[in-house]
Chains A and B, each alone.
Chain A
Amino acid sequence: MRASMRAQVLTTAFLFVVAVYILLPLWWLVVSATKSGGDLFDTPGLWFGELHFAGNVERVMSQDGGLYPRWLLNTLIYSGGGALGATLLAAMAGYALAKYPFRGRGAVFAVIMGAVLIPAPLITLPLYLLESRLGLLNTVWGVLLPCMVSPFGVYLARAYAEAAVPDTLLEAGRIDGAGELRIFFTVGIRLMAPALVTLFLFQFVAIWNNFFLPMMVLNDQALWPVTLGLVKWHGIRTGFLRDAVVTGALISIVPVILAFVSLQRFWKADLAAGSVKL
């Protein structure tokens, strides 16, 4: 009883420290977003100065002729579209690798696993040269297409499909006369849903934070995602935009938090549903 009390207190204290460690930068961001550019350095970082949030938001929205909302929308398109595409492709590939025995299945999977090990920046230059030939540079597709490929997603989908999609169920579907595509979309994909939500979230956040690929591929500022825009503002040494950078950063994480909070619920519910049904 006593030991468990102590363990409880220690655990709580430890988790509290971890929480503080993780939340402190976020707190700094929230506090700093309410300050004017000068106050950022003139006042203590972790507490409020003069309230200037509305002015900062106005500056974020109007700077560079109001490009920020456009950047945010672009990021949503790249992240949402890219994650959706990546999830669908990975689900199909993973499902196929798990459920259809075919010649060279092991080799295909080994190649995909190999691709997991290659860091994205390493292939960005070859990608650039490839896209240059295909005329995809400085287009939305130049960012979207590479983002729709997720080797790790294929691995995850395959592992999950193997465990969660029973062969007997597929057999039943075939006996009922359903085609393979219909079985995949009505049975397979639904059983894989918890893994697919995870995959979607992973990919969504990865694309949201992606910097290097869009930096290389895009020239037109109207096509930039928000990461590029913030780095550009941050890089301007004269005519400081620090207030705009900080406030812009705060606004840019709101959609990610929303995506997480809303999808996580969905994800848990599916996990629970799965465990009851199976």
Chain B
Amino acid sequence: MGVTQQARRAVGLAGGMTAILMAAACGSGGAGEPGAPAASAASAAAGGPVTVEWWGWAPGYDKAAEAWNASHPDIQVKYTQIESGAKGGYQKMLAAVKAGNAPCLGQVGGETLASFLVEGALEDITGYAKDSNAKFQQWAVNSVTFGGRQVAVPVDSGPMGLYYRKDIFDKHKIEVPKTWDEFAAAAGKLHAADPKVFLTSFNPDDMYGFSGYAWQAGANWFSTSGDAWKVSITDEPTLKVANYWQGLLDKKLVDVKPAWSDAWFKDFTDGKIASLVGAVWMTKVLEDSIPKTSGKWAVAPMPSWEAGTTVTGNVGGSPNAVLKGCAHPKEAVEFATWLATDPGAFDDLVVNGGLFPTSADGTSLPAMKAPRPFYGDQPVFEVFSEAARTVAPSFGWGPTTPVVNDAFNSAVGEVVTKGGSLADALKTVQEKAVASIKDKGLSVAEG
């Protein structure tokens, strides 16, 4: 038993290592040194138009592809909308890679890129992308780069901000908190003034929201050193965040309804939750989900840990990755870069899809300045534009995000419903994350 198990593990490990190595090898083999632009352009012209297949699900992508095709006869993009990643889109892409009929370009969430990488499903695009990376915010490029190899082109991001009910804040004379200390004080003051109202909620089942807090604090849950993964879900910044929310939980100063539940949204409608620290895409979610509170909301920067500094967390964002076997990686990267950085293209994505740009000057797009009636005609994207410039540069995801998500939601959910300590729950999450990576036959660096 012991022997076979060990043998199996060894085989698995070898397999996993090869996967990484292959991804690396094939990547660099496929990419090689970027050909001189002139030569490639010539070959594209000589060989007729090139078709780049593209799979994704973000709203607005279809129209972006049409706009590109109209102005780029040499590179035609064929867009197919598939189910979103978590609903099966990722499985479909991986299956297509195995079958050898994958599209050139696929929408792969930042939290999922690493799992695609260890499956050997991504091409290395470092050579094609390096010249245009200056057009992006640096942290966004970091988030699609593993061990020095870039595997995707960033598109949108989810910088965080403080959504708050202006009317409730005014009524109880609460100043908009600039730091987390002020935020905690406000939570106490508001709940004392009206025991039915909480300043905010701590959702027991929202790993991504929590990761955004940790991201802001400077955490880096997953990184690679050599061929080994380093897992740091219990690093010092994350524990700082956990202890902070532990304090609010212990004093019963936060609402603990599950995120996205009917009851949670109902509490927002009823004015029982007065604020929310969330990503930019919550802008549209709130507008659509709780229309009765329209005009009463406003947005401020995310509270910071140290007075006078602004560092922001990020939740979400779906880069476009070049999938293994792509015959035209250069053209695919060219299109993906245009999609994310062309002012016209992205302005449409903001309007049609509510996507928020990762490009360096994307924050000056006209759509960023539009006032929104739900937020008392505040041009809220301007707040997030500032926030996007201050996103902490270090956070990374690992190859087993779904496992981490489940582990987090069960362990933290238990703390919220039955009591216990968030720090202990994070230890459990850390152990399960390490185990899940080892189960894939990958090595984990201790420490």
Chain A nearest CB: distance from B302 CB in Å? 20
A228 to B57, CA, bound (A): 13
* Residues 208-238 of A at the B interface (beta carbon under 8 Å): 211-212, 215-216, 219-221, 228, 231-232, 235-238
A1 to B83, CA, bound (A): 60
* Contact residues of B between 338 and 390, Cβ < 8 Å to A: 353-354
Distance between Cα atoms of A59 and B82 in the complex (Å): 21
Of the four ranges (under 10, 10 to 19, 20 to 34, 35 or more), the interface on chain B belongs to 20 to 34
Contact of A125 among B83, B95, B354 (CB under 8 A): B95
How many angstroms between the C-alpha atoms of A219 and B175 in the bound complex?
51
CA of A129 to CA of B97 in the docked complex: distance in angstroms?
A: 10
Q: Which of B257-283 contact A (CB under 8 A)?
A: 262, 265-266, 268-269, 281
**B266 neighbours in A (Cβ, 8 Å):** 41-42
B246 interface residue per 8 A CB criterion: no
State which of B84, B95, B269, B354 has its C-beta within 8 Å of the C-beta of A216: B95
Report if A236-B101 is in contact (Cβ < 8 Å); known contacts: A216-B92, A228-B83.
no
Asked if A41 contacts B80 (CB within 8 A), the reply is no
Interface residues of B in 3-54 (CB under 8 A from A): none
A129/B290 in contact, CB under 8 A: no
State which of B80, B88, B100, B354 has its C-beta within 8 Å of the C-beta of A215: B88
A41 B290 Cβ-Cβ under 8 A: yes
Which residues 74-98 of B sit at the A interface, judged by CB distance below 8 A?
A: 80-84, 87-88, 91-92, 95, 98
Measured between beta carbons, the chain B residues less than 8 angstroms from A128 are 95, 99
Q: Report which residue of B83, B268, B284 has the largest number of chain A beta carbons within 10 angstroms of its beta carbon.
A: B83
Q: By the criterion CB–CB under 8 Å, are B354 and A239 in contact?
A: yes
B-chain residues with CB within 8 Å of residue A240 when the two chains form the complex = 284-285, 288-289
* B262 touching A41, Cβ below 8 Å: yes
| Count of A interface residues, CB-CB < 8 Å | 28
Q: Within 8 Å of chain A (Cβ to Cβ): is B291?
A: yes
**CB contacts between A and B, total, < 8 Å:** 78
Q: Contact at B83–A238, with CB atoms within 8 Å?
A: no
B59 adjacent to chain A (CB < 8 Å): yes
Asked if A232 and B81 sit within 8 Å, CB to CB, the answer is yes
How far is B96's CA from A219's CA once the two chains are assembled, in angstroms? 11
Residues of A within 8 A of B284 (CB): 237-240
B268, B269, B288, B290: most-surrounded residue (chain A CB, <10 A): B288
Indicate if the CB atoms of B91 and A216 lie closer than 8 Å.
yes
Contact partner of A41 (CB less than 8 A), chosen from B81, B91, B289, is B289
- A38 and B290 in contact, given A215-B88, A215-B92, A235-B84 (Cβ under 8 angstroms): yes
Chain B residues closer than 8 Å to A215, beta-carbon distance: 83, 87-88, 92
Which residues of B sit under 8 angstroms from A231, Cβ to Cβ?
A: 83, 87
Contact of A38 among B59, B83, B288 (CB under 8 A): B288
Interface flags for A35-53 (1: CB within 8 Å of B; 0: not) read 0011011100100000000
Minimal beta-carbon separation of A158 from chain B (angstroms): 34
Closest to A38 in B: B291
Q: Does B252 contact A (CB under 8 A)?
A: no
Q: Which residues of B contact A212 (CB under 8 A)?
A: 88
Add 11 more A-B contacts to A42-B292, A242-B288 (CB < 8 A).
A37-B289, A38-B288, A38-B292, A128-B99, A129-B99, A132-B101, A215-B92, A216-B88, A219-B80, A238-B285, A238-B354
Query: What are some 20 contacts across the A-B interface (CB < 8 A)?
Result: A37-B289, A38-B290, A41-B265, A42-B292, A129-B95, A132-B100, A215-B88, A216-B88, A216-B95, A219-B82, A221-B81, A231-B83, A231-B87, A232-B84, A236-B59, A237-B284, A238-B281, A239-B354, A240-B284, A240-B289
Q: Which residues of A contact B (CB under 8 A)?
A: 37-38, 40-42, 45, 125, 128-129, 132, 137, 211-212, 215-216, 219-221, 228, 231-232, 235-240, 242
Closest 8 CB pairs of A and B: A238-B354, A41-B265, A38-B291, A132-B99, A240-B288, A235-B84, A238-B284, A215-B88
